[in-house]
Amino acid sequence: MDISVKGKNLDVGDALRSHVEDNLGNVVTKYFNHAIDATVMFSRQGAGMRADISVHPGPRGLVVQSGSESDDPYAAFDGALERVATQLRRYKRRLVNHHAKGRGIEEMQPAQQYVIQPEDSDEEVAEDAQPAVIAEMETAIATLTVSEAVMRMDLGELPLVMFRNSANGGLNVIYRREDGNIGWIDPENSVG
């Protein structure tokens, strides 16, 4: 597994880098033998430090993210690592059970990229004008069950996930509601 340790406007010393690589490598390989990569970013937050961890443990596009703040960079990293370990431990059984059912890794379909820009004009833009809508990155739409999509949303700490429902082949969206519950959009005519 490739581990990248970076500092945002600060120098990450060799001792901290070694601490991160040893501990993160041990935690991730405990749950996923063939993890792809991980990134740890340290930054200053006021008087303290923040550590953000992003781990790509497998081939299905799954990303586990976590962050923690503390006065000490080691404590910030350890807090974020504990959350990553909890997430990996919590979902490993689900991931293993889904693969054990004989389901192969299904091909992901690419989403199209769009940029909607306002008309070219030399006039000043009014303050109440709507901003341009920009799709910043190309992504693939995975074929998942609803529970797999919820798991992916939780692991990636994402606000929503769009996926192709493996039950009916239609495009679906799950999202976290303001009350903390999960919402699921499954359009009636979603096939095709």
Same-domain check for residues 7 and 93: yes
What is the reported pLDDT for 107? 46
Same-domain check for residues 36 and 73: yes
- Identity at 192, one-letter amino acid code: G
What is the reported pLDDT for 94? 66
As a dihedral over the C-alpha atoms of residue 78, residue 84, residue 19, residue 60, rounded to 10 degrees, the angle is -170
Would residue 120 count as lying in a domain? yes
Q: How far is CA 43 from the centre of its chain?
A: 19
Same-domain check for residues 115 and 146: yes
> Rounded to whole angstroms, how far apart are CA atoms 164 and 109?
9
Helices 146-156 & 73-100 angle (0-180, nearest 10): 170
pLDDT per residue of the chain (192 residues) written in tens, 0 to 9 = 889 999 998 889 999 999 999 999 888 888 887 788 899 999 998 889 999 999 888 756 678 889 999 999 999 999 999 999 888 887 676 666 555 454 444 444 555 545 454 555 455 555 555 566 665 667 788 899 998 898 888 888 888 999 999 988 899 999 998 898 899 999 875 455
- Identity at 80, one-letter amino acid code: A
Structural domain boundaries, residue 164: 109-185
- The CATH number of whichever domain residue 155 belongs to comes to 3.30.505.50
What is the reported pLDDT for 16? 93
Q: How many domains does the chain fold into? A: 2
- The CATH number of whichever domain residue 25 belongs to comes to 3.30.160.100
Place of tokens 């807090």: 79
> Rounded to whole angstroms, how far apart are CA atoms 12 and 99?
39
What is the reported pLDDT for 58? 72
Write down how long the chain is: 192
Strands 109-110 and 171-176, bridge-based pairing = unpaired
> Rounded to whole angstroms, how far apart are CA atoms 73 and 96?
34
Same-domain check for residues 74 and 115: no
pTM of the model: 0.59
What is the reported pLDDT for 71? 93
Sign of CA dihedral 69, 37, 136, 174: negative
State which of 67, 100, 133 marks the end of a domain. Answer: 100
Same-domain check for residues 57 and 30: yes
State which of 100, 122, 149 marks the end of a domain. Answer: 100
What is the reported pLDDT for 189? 59
